[in-house]
Amino acid sequence: MDVVRTVGDLRARIGDWRGHGHGVGLVPTMGALHEGHLSLVRQSLAETNRTCVTLFVNPRQFGPGEDLSTYPRDEASDMEKVSKLGAHLLFAPTAEEMYPPGAATRVSVPGLGDELEGTHRPDFFTGVATVVAKLLLQALPDAAFFGEKDYQQLLVIRRMTADLDIPVTIRSGPTVREADGLALSSRNAYLTPGERAIAPALHRALIQVAEEVRAGGDPAAACKEATGRILEAGFQKVDYVEARDAATFKPIADASNPSRVLAAAWLGRARLIDNLAI
Amino acid sequence: MDVVRTVGDLRARIGDWRGHGHGVGLVPTMGALHEGHLSLVRQSLAETNRTCVTLFVNPRQFGPGEDLSTYPRDEASDMEKVSKLGAHLLFAPTAEEMYPPGAATRVSVPGLGDELEGTHRPDFFTGVATVVAKLLLQALPDAAFFGEKDYQQLLVIRRMTADLDIPVTIRSGPTVREADGLALSSRNAYLTPGERAIAPALHRALIQVAEEVRAGGDPAAACKEATGRILEAGFQKVDYVEARDAATFKPIADASNPSRVLAAAWLGRARLIDNLAI
């Protein structure tokens, strides 16, 4: 597997693949790779001829006071993992390569990007939409792969890609979980052993919401109960628990259309998010 | 010359050109074509093998109370003009094709996009950057052509294209003028005969600023005098007259670097803009 660090080298490599008629898959990541990322790499390898994994901790999607400086980084280990799977290229640019002096343009998704995560992390989705637009346009793959664990992010990226007519298919892969239900996340590394034991309560609370709503229960009431259960389990703060239409992201009154329940909560210094199909 | 109205048809046509190895030029316009637009079409025809002209009055770049509903439209005449020059394709989408229900994404260029025109037309450059990003990504031409008449717009488009890594070269063409110096503009159609006689005063005032600054005069003082002369000539209101660095768009203290003087002023119901190299 080759490693490139500039947009020019990335394009040369992908141009070479194109010249040989290969289809191209892109798997954007912030590194600290876990089985969730690796499942997307496998999906890309299965669906395309050539797979490029990107590794970039994007400063624009961290707000002031967030964990940019402490976000887990281990490029050597990441490189070994994706190389072992058979990925063909790793693109690991510097912040200067992605945002040269004078870079100013922002891509935002008002509405969808202002809710839930957007309420609690006001710069987050503009940072995500901007960097993903750049990565898609740098590589111009046939398909790019994102995890359902970040479900609202997936919708923001689908919306942005469609709205800007970026000629790339957005594909998604299911959330990968530990045996006890905790969704894999690079930020799980922040949990102490005691917090790690508490953490699966988030997933359990979402399962209960999904079951109650499927059984005809009121979504808002079920989410409120779930918030209580998450706090009782030992989380310090719940940012939200909400049931939303899976496509429009509007609040739901019942389970008549495909929908998701989504949550974010603080446990020690980790802010954990999770979501589930209802 | 063919006319297409959907992104799908546009891509099919351009894909066909690509299959034949042709280089592609794009000339985005809002129609009501004049010699300024046509000079860009000629430039594209000279520099590329296949030229697509786009014709779309973009509602997103008009603010509330601006002239969206009265903006001059004459598709039949536009079509004849570009066909006669030898352009190969006209892309004239509907607003629904460009902004289907749910379209939300915005591309903005903070800083550069907030000054001068951006101060007086707060939605303008976000509307321009968004529609131009879309057009470039719909067509993916080798080069796209824009007039220096809208100089700040040209800088915003260059910035946006570079920042988002859109793989298209932005080319520019000089302002085309009437014999008396008035810059060609679709909005000149709003001028009454009396106003038309007054209009060249804007260009004359800019010439005088350029001469004074070149001779060592203070740019701010020269711009202030120009404002007075534009009003004396019969314009009702001057939005700005400013001397800026041609690349960074920062205010200048002298003529040591390439710079431009830019102005916007109201004459009757027309808001005229113009600019000149110092």
Q: Is residue A179 part of a domain?
A: no
Q: Are residues B165 and B238 in the same domain?
A: no
Q: Flag if A164 and B106 touch (Cβ within 8 Å).
A: no
Report how far residue A50's alpha carbon sits from residue A53's, in angstroms, rounded to the nearest whole number. Answer: 10
Residue B73 pLDDT: 93
Residue A103: which of B103, B140, B163 has the nearest Cβ? B163
Query: Cβ(A160)–Cβ(B105) under 8 Å?
Result: yes
Distance (Å, whole) CA B195 – CA B72: 18
* Residue A77 resides in a domain: yes
| Per-residue pLDDT, B204 | 98
Domain shared by B142 and B17, yes or no: yes
Contact B159 A104 (CB under 8 A): yes
DSSP letters of B53-119? EEE---GGGS-TTSSTTTS---HHHHHHHHHHHT--EEE---HHHHS-TT---EEE-TTGGGSTHHH
- Pair B195, B163 in one domain: no
Which residue of B10, B134, B137, B156 to mutate against A (max A Cβ within 10 Å)?
B137
pLDDT given for residue B116 in this prediction: 96
Among A117, A144, A173, the domain-final residue is: A173
Which residue do the tokens 């450059």 mark? B125
A110 lies in the same domain as A191: no
B162 and B208: one domain?
A: no
Token duo for residue B20: 């034949």
Question: Residue B258 belongs to a domain with what CATH number?
Answer: 3.30.1300.10
Domain residues for the domain of B230 are 186-277
Q: Is the dihedral of CA B244, B249, B253, B259 positive or negative?
A: negative
Same structural domain for residues A133 and A192? no
Which of A11, A110, A165 is nearest residue B106 as measured by Cβ atoms?
A110
Domains in chain B, number: 2
Question: Are A137 and A216 contained in the same domain?
Answer: no
Residues B27-77 have pLDDT tens digits of 999 999 999 999 999 999 999 999 999 999 999 999 999 999 999 999 999
Instruction: Give the residue from chain B lying closest to A112, CA to CA.
Output: B104
Say if B109 falls within a structural domain: yes
- The domain that holds B98 is classified in CATH as 3.40.50.620
> 3-state DSSP call for residue A261?
strand
Q: Is A36 helix (H, G, I), strand (E, B) or coil?
A: helix
Whether A156 maps to a domain, the answer reads yes
Across the interface, of B7, B110, B164, the residue whose CB is closest to A133 is B164
Cβ pair A109:B111 closer than 8 A: no
Helix (H) / strand (E) element for A240: namely strand A237-245
Q: Which residue spans within chain B are E strands per DSSP?
A: 2-4, 24-29, 50-55, 89-91, 106-108, 143-147, 169-173, 237-245, 259-267, 270-277
**Helices B75-85 and B35-47: crossing angle, nearest 10°?**
40
Residues of chain A neighbouring B104 (CB-CB closer than 8 A):
109-113, 159, 163
Q: Which residue is catalytic, options B37, B88, B120, B203? A: B37
In a domain, B209, yes or no: yes
Give the span between the Cα atoms of B7 and B219, in whole angstroms.
Answer: 46
Whole-number percent of chain B with pLDDT over 90: 99
The residue from A123, A148, A173 where one domain ends is A173
Encode pLDDT of A156-174 as tens digits: 999 999 999 999 999 999 9
Residue A18 pLDDT: 96
Q: Do B197 and B130 fall within a single domain?
A: no
Q: Using 50, 70 and 90 to split pLDDT, how confident is the model at B258?
A: very high
Which candidate, B19, B27, B33, places its Cα nearest to that of B136? B27
Nearest to A137 among B104, B113, B166 (CB): B166
B140/A167 Cβ within 8 A = yes
Confidence of residue B120 (pLDDT cuts 50, 70, 90): very high
Classified as helix, coil or strand, A23 is coil
Does residue B181 fall inside a structural domain?
A: no
What are the catalytic residues of A?
Answer: 37
pLDDT reported for residue B261: 98
pLDDT, tens digit (0-9, with 9 covering 90-100), for B89-103: 999 999 999 999 999
Same domain, A65 and A160: yes
> Does residue A44 sit in the same domain as residue A67?
yes
User: Contact A278/A211 with Cβ under 8 angstroms?
Assistant: no
pTM of the predicted structure, to 2 decimals? 0.96
CB of A112 less than 8 A from some CB of B? yes
Residues A14 and A137 occupy one common structural domain: yes
Residue B64 lies in a domain: yes
Any domain includes A181: no
Residues A215 and A239 in one domain: yes
B2-34 confidence digits (pLDDT tens):
999 999 999 999 999 999 999 999 999 999 999
Please give the single-letter amino acid code of residue B20: H
3-state SS of A67-131 is: CCCCCCCCHHHHHHHHHHHCCCEEECCCHHHHCCCCCCCEEECCCHHHCCHHHHCCCHHHHHHHH
User: For chain A, which residues score pLDDT lower than 70?
Assistant: none
At which of A173, A206, A239 does a domain end? Answer: A173
